[in-house]
Each structure stands twice: as structure tokens, then as C-alpha cells.
Amino acid sequence: MAEILIKDGVKYRLWTPSKEGELERMVVHHSKDVFGGNSIYFDIKKKIQTNIGERTIPDGYLINFDTNEFCIIEVELSTHHEYRHINEQIGKFISALNNYQTRQKLARILKDYILDDVVLEKFVKKKVGDKEIYEFFLDILENVKEQKYSIVVIIDKKTKRISDACSILHSRPDIREFKTFAREGVDPKMVHVHLFEPLYETEIIESVKPSVEQQQITLREEEKPKRLKRGEKTNQKAYIIPILESLIEMGGSGRTKYVLDMVEQKMEGILKEVDYEMLSSGIDIRWENTAAWARNTMVQKGLLKPSEESGRGIWEISDEGRRYYEENKS
């Protein structure tokens, strides 16, 4: 019998996505929770398909910046009957890395992925120190070529079939369950909760208020010695019109860095001294962090297009966003 969760008298039933891509998107969305705050999950399958070859592509890649460990990620459904492709894909990927030019291509893809996101760029630069980001990734891939890597398989339900399939791999995979419980009587994609065991235990430097409603936007709370009082920092809502106006002036879309540069200019006189403080993580500036969360809110409300449509590292206004701007601009 399927498992059931009950919260405040509401039942949540175990739900299995019909397509592997759905599970993959949920894992990407919660990658920091699943893989740890000091790791980066590289969702770059499409770019690697173009540059290296489609048949050598695992689902994702992870680097833990505490240990410099490279992980190959496979996302699977328990409803699948065959898992031979896991061994084939990983074997071909590792074999492809024997070619120095392939390692160079992949290192450039990883670097570009980081440079497309100003927050990730700050995080990585802090972790790698004086080393150039490209050279850091090249060194990591050299270790992978020498069989220094790990494999993580994320699956909705661990079965004997997946365990047997993974047992033949050179590097024994770490198999982790990622279960989804959907609220009874509601579209599972809209209201659900997840149950999983994190890959890494890391010191918590930030937390997210729990919510089972995907349409409710969670707000990040920075751990610090003195908690800000309500109203001390600029509220998320104040960013909405400047973001929309910036995107309209940029022709409808723009890369994160350039959007934030324009938003900062438009919010001159609005942003407070406290907004320019560095968060306790030592990576984010408070106003940039708030702007990023405002963007998430705007995507959920339909004012901006999601990354799946606009492209990673690109902010793009939607038709609904244009209407909202016209109705609410001063």
C-alpha cells in the first residue's frame, strides 16, 4: 500500500512522475537541498550534447567545493524496466574525457555556466581563490579521467532492479530516494512535498521557510548575529517595477548581470545602506539576493518567463509582465 503523509489534517499521497524529465526538473529545483549548499549541480545536458555527443551524456554533474569531488548524476524512475543505459552512458562519458580537447570543451562549458550567474560566480571565485575558474575545472576533469569521481543515482523508489544494475559499475553508485507526496485532490505538480536524504551534511548558512504550496514563494532567511527588523531592508515588492522596466528597456530580456546593473541604477535612492551589506554566507550582497528572490516570485506570478523558456542566466519579461508594468508604473 502506498505511503501517506498527513499535515494539518490534509492527506498527501505518494506520487510518481509519469516522465523522467519531471523528476529531473524537481531534483534540479531542489539541488542545494539534495546535494548540499557548498555544491553546484550543473544542468548542462543540452550544451554537452551539442559539444561532445548525445550518446555520452549523463543527466547531470555535481562538484562539491568542500572536497573538490566530481559527481556524475543519473535521475531514474523505478517504473523503468531497463537500466543498462546508466553503465553505457557513464562508460562513454569517462572514455570521452581521455581526449584532452574534450576536457577543454567541458571545462569551458562549466566555466560559462558559472559566469552566466553572478551569484554562482562569486561563490566559485571565493572557493577557488587565486586559481582561474577554467583551470580549476580542467584540473577536476583530469582527476575524473584518472577514475577519481563518484556516481549518484536519484530515484523515486529504490528497488532491487536498480541496485543490481548499478552493482556492475566500476565506481559503485550512491543510490538516493527522492519521493514526492502530492496533496489529495489537487494537481500533483502544483501542491506537493518531497522526502529525501541529503547527499552531504553541511553547515547551514541559510534556510528556506517550508511550504507545501509551490505557488507560495519562499523567502530566504540569512543567519546572522543580529536579525534585521521588519522594514529595515528594501522589500521584494519594491524590485518588481524596476526589474520589469529594465527588461523592457533592454528589449525584453537580458543576462542576469546586466539586468541587475540596470535595476541598481533605477533603485538609486530606494536601496538602503543595509541592502549593500554582505550576507553571512560571505557570497551574496543583500540587495542582489533579494532581487534574485523577487525574480523567482515574478516567475511564479507569470510576470517573467521561467528559465526553461528564456534560457539559463537570462531574465525575460512575459506578456503578463508587460501588462502588469503598464497598469502599475508610476
The answer to whether residues 153 and 31 belong to one domain is: yes
Q: What does pLDDT average to over the chain?
A: 82
The answer to whether residues 195 and 247 belong to one domain is: no
Q: Give the residue, 285 or 239, on which the prediction is more confident.
A: 239
- For residue 81, pLDDT over 80 is answered with no
Q: Give the residue, 295 or 232, on which the prediction is more confident.
A: 295
Q: How confident is the model at residue 146 (pLDDT cuts 50, 70, 90)?
A: confident
Residue 219 resides in a domain: no
- pLDDT given for residue 166 in this prediction: 81
The residue from 147, 176, 199 where one domain ends is 199
Residue 189 resides in a domain: yes
The answer to whether residues 266 and 166 belong to one domain is: no
CA 247 – CA 253 distance, rounded (Å): 5
Average pLDDT over residues 180-209: 74
The answer to whether residues 51 and 186 belong to one domain is: yes
The answer to whether residues 178 and 255 belong to one domain is: no
Task: Give the CATH number, domain containing residue 286.
Answer: 1.10.10.10
Residue 222 resides in a domain: no
Residue 95 resides in a domain: yes
Q: How confident is the model at residue 215 (pLDDT cuts 50, 70, 90)?
A: very low
Nearest to 186 by CA among 159, 153, 215: 215
- For residue 2, pLDDT over 80 is answered with no
Residue 73 resides in a domain: yes
CA 303 – CA 11 distance, rounded (Å): 32
Residue 225 resides in a domain: no
Residue 46 resides in a domain: yes
Of the given ranges (19-23, 185-189, 320-324), which has the lowest mean pLDDT?
185-189
- pLDDT given for residue 51 in this prediction: 55
The answer to whether residues 44 and 96 belong to one domain is: yes
- pLDDT given for residue 315 in this prediction: 92
CA 286 – CA 130 distance, rounded (Å): 25
CA 322 – CA 241 distance, rounded (Å): 10
The answer to whether residues 195 and 242 belong to one domain is: no
- Partners of 195 in the β-ladder: 179
The answer to whether residues 245 and 310 belong to one domain is: yes
Residue 177 resides in a domain: yes
- pLDDT given for residue 212 in this prediction: 45
The answer to whether residues 20 and 138 belong to one domain is: yes
Average pLDDT over residues 132-160: 89
- pLDDT given for residue 205 in this prediction: 41
The answer to whether residues 190 and 248 belong to one domain is: no
The answer to whether residues 242 and 299 belong to one domain is: yes
The residue from 199, 228, 247 where one domain ends is 199
Q: How confident is the model at residue 210 (pLDDT cuts 50, 70, 90)?
A: very low
Average pLDDT over residues 20-33: 88
CA 195 – CA 301 distance, rounded (Å): 26
Q: Which range, 14-23, 161-170, 271-280, is most confident? A: 14-23
CA 202 – CA 34 distance, rounded (Å): 11
The answer to whether residues 187 and 262 belong to one domain is: no
pTM above 0.75, yes or no: no
- pLDDT given for residue 53 in this prediction: 56
Q: Which range, 9-13, 89-93, 150-154, 243-247, is most confident? A: 243-247
- For residue 295, pLDDT over 70 is answered with yes
**Cell 541496485 identifies what position?**
163
Q: Which domain holds residue 318?
A: 237-328
Q: How many domains would you assign to the chain?
A: 2
CA 32 – CA 53 distance, rounded (Å): 28
What does 67-106 look like in DSSP terms, one character per residue?
TTEEEEEEEE-TT-S--HHHHHHHHHHHHHTTSHHHHHHH
- pLDDT given for residue 283 in this prediction: 64
- For residue 284, pLDDT over 50 is answered with yes
The residue from 199, 225, 258 where one domain ends is 199
